[in-house]
Chains A and B, each alone.
Chain A
Amino acid sequence: MLAKEMSARDEVSETGGEGTVRPSRPRPRVRLRMINAKVSRGSALFLGCLPFLFVAVAYLIASAQRLAVNLSDKLLPSPAQMWSAFLDLATVPDKRSGDLILWVDTYASLLRLFAGVGVATFAALSLGIAIGFIPRVRAFLLPLVTVVCVIPPLALLPILFIALGLGETAKITLIALGVAPVMVRDIANRVMELPPELVAKAQTLGGNSWTMVLRLVLPQVMPRLITCVRLALGPAWLFLIAAEAIASTEGLGYRIFLVRRYLSMDVILPYVAWITLLAVITDWLLVRLSQAVSPWAHPAEAR
């Protein structure tokens, strides 16, 4: 066993190419297992950037090749073409309506998204805590929530459009219905996982059901709630774009599906990048919010 390790170490010093011809004394360098090898900050940054770079370069090459064959190719537009199309949408008023399309789309979409997720968050907080903390409410509502959870929300879309019309209400309802049940269940689970010791102790200190919700349950589930919202934003974008694609007159999803008819990849690709950017910023803001609201749950960052 020992001999094997020793020979492995020799191998490292030889193949490592230290530059010396005769390594009389091998350097005490130990090859760690893959799972134990730490990554420094710089190399982590480098490694993280590599895939992005790879995708970008691959796109540039493919785009250049296609454009070399056919200058009016629409499928893989050059960065310059995409930038100018994006600038047009962001700064030049639309001929027909006089709107700056990008900002109108962004405003409409974000309003729907945040309204839907906001309603879902409120439902998750109130229903989740009630279901998790009060056995009687749990017995009453948990079966319903469990069943609603497995309904595919997009299958409800026609019903919503028929029942609520094609306006904002139907889209916001779709987003809220799509993400709320999972969030409610998650929060309820988190509340049920609270250590019984803490709940017992709160009662011995004079807490009643309501004050325990305020001072014990709410602060304890806050970090989890924010994580929930972060996870729910993915599906929320999906439902938003689906709803906008079907019935809308403005919105990021609407625009993408509108210009698809003209194969306008120079608009679609920047729009996708723009949506990605918005999603990343929202996520980052939520992480900061969690650190600000629940510093105790982020000991590493707080100190």
Chain B
Amino acid sequence: MSRIVVHGLEKSYGDARVLERVNVTAEAGEFLSLVGASGCGKSTFLRILLGQEQQSSGVVIVGDRPIIPEPTPQRGIVFQRYSVFPHLTAVQNLLLVADFRSGGPFGRVFGARRRSARQEAEAMLERVGLAHARDLYPASLSGGMQQRLAIAQTLLGRPQILLLDEPFGALDPGIRVEMHELLTELWTEHGMTVVMVTHDIGEAFKLGTRVLVFDKVRHDPQFPSAYGATITYDLKLDRKTRASSHHLAKVAAMVGTTRPDTAMATTAS
């Protein structure tokens, strides 16, 4: 629901440059898949969008204002690990959203607002298929259930932008397909802008409306960390390109990790 504009973004840790000359404009409602080899800075890019880290130089605009340099409810996040609060049961995890929202001195809503928050939480649990697990702690939920809970929790916060950091990286292939369907449905319902980091190129093509490849274009053999990665390939997907093995193979070759045939299989599923 908000556009993201990134211009001339650069990120360095001391002497080591991770990202450089990153320019991208995402229209509201787009689904961006970020792929690239490990350690190429795509997660750093996501953390900058989240506000957990700040760019060394360049401009990031979310909506029509420069990004606020700390995490805010404008941008929701689902991590691969530590995605939900382990000290709260499933339903408490969802109620927490209303509690935090209220901002009161007790960090908790009461009375009629609590009842409506509870109804909303129950409905959301039902929506993501966790109604039977409402009173379980995350430790006794499976990986897939935890990620479903995490997505439900994030969506209850009604973010304009949804950030996903390898959300399905630790899940079994079967569960992963299930999660893809859920995420696609929720994205269609809510219509927010999504930025997803993934290792799985098939997943990137299947879910995204646009695939961005991060890679290093300049190399200094004497000082490998002198240059950072940038966006080397920006592919808008429509029904034709999504299924095209040609594009998939091209991106797979750039990233150099996944075999195109397995990626093709994911896209088809």
A-side interface residues toward B, CB under 8 Å? 195-198, 200-208, 210-212, 214-216, 219-220, 294-297, 299, 303
Contact = CB atoms under 8 A, between A and B. Distances in A.
A214 B100 CA distance: 10
B140 interface: yes
A200 B137 contact: no
Contacts of B86: 296
B33 interface: no
B159 A204 contact: yes
Contact of A206 (B73, B85, B139): B73
Contacts of B104: 211
Nearest to A219: B87
Contacts of B72: 203-204
B94 to A, nearest CB: 10
B77 A214 contact: no
A175 B103 CA distance: 38
Interface string B37-71: 00000000000001110000000000000000011
Nearest to A295: B137
A208 B71 CA distance: 11
B73 A196 contact: no
A201 B140 contact: no
Nearest to A203: B71
Contacts of B83: 197, 201
Nearest to A303: B140
B79 A208 contact: no
Contacts of A207: 100, 107
Contacts of A198: 82, 85
A79 to B, nearest CB: 48
Nearest to A197: B82
B142 to A, nearest CB: 14
B75 A204 contact: yes
Contacts of B88: 219, 296
A198 B139 CA distance: 15
18 contacts: A202-B85, A203-B51, A204-B50, A204-B71, A204-B76, A204-B154, A205-B101, A205-B157, A206-B100, A206-B157, A210-B107, A215-B108, A219-B88, A296-B88, A296-B138, A296-B139, A299-B140, A303-B140
Interface residues of B, number: 37
Given A203-B71, A299-B140, A216 B76 contact: no
Which one of A200, A205, A295, A303 has the highest number of Cβ atoms from chain B below 10 Å of its Cβ?
A: A205
Contacts of B153: 205
Contact of A200 (B71, B85, B99): B71
A296 B157 contact: no
A186 B107 CA distance: 25
A200 B77 contact: yes
A202 B71 CA distance: 9
Contacts of B52: 196, 200
Contacts of A208: 103
B137 A205 contact: no
B96 A215 contact: yes
Contacts of A212: 107
Contacts of A201: 71, 77, 79, 82-83, 85, 154
Nearest to B79: A197
B87 to A, nearest CB: 4
A205 B73 contact: yes
4 smallest CB-CB distances across A and B, nearest first, come from A211-B107, A203-B71, A197-B82, A214-B107
A214 B108 CA distance: 9
A245 to B, nearest CB: 43
Contacts of B159: 204
Which one of A195, A203, A219 has the highest number of Cβ atoms from chain B below 10 Å of its Cβ?
A: A203
A211 B99 contact: yes
Contacts of B51: 203
Contacts of B154: 201, 204-205
A216 B108 CA distance: 12
A193 to B, nearest CB: 12
Interface in B90-125: 96-97, 99-101, 103-108
B81 interface: yes
A201 B77 CA distance: 6
Contacts of B157: 204-206
A200 B70 CA distance: 8
Contacts of A203: 51, 70-72
A200 B100 contact: no
A147 B77 CA distance: 40
A297 B140 CA distance: 12
Given A215-B107, A296-B87, 16 more contacts: A195-B81, A197-B79, A197-B82, A200-B52, A200-B71, A203-B51, A204-B50, A204-B77, A205-B73, A205-B153, A206-B157, A211-B99, A214-B108, A294-B87, A299-B137, A299-B140
Nearest to A222: B87
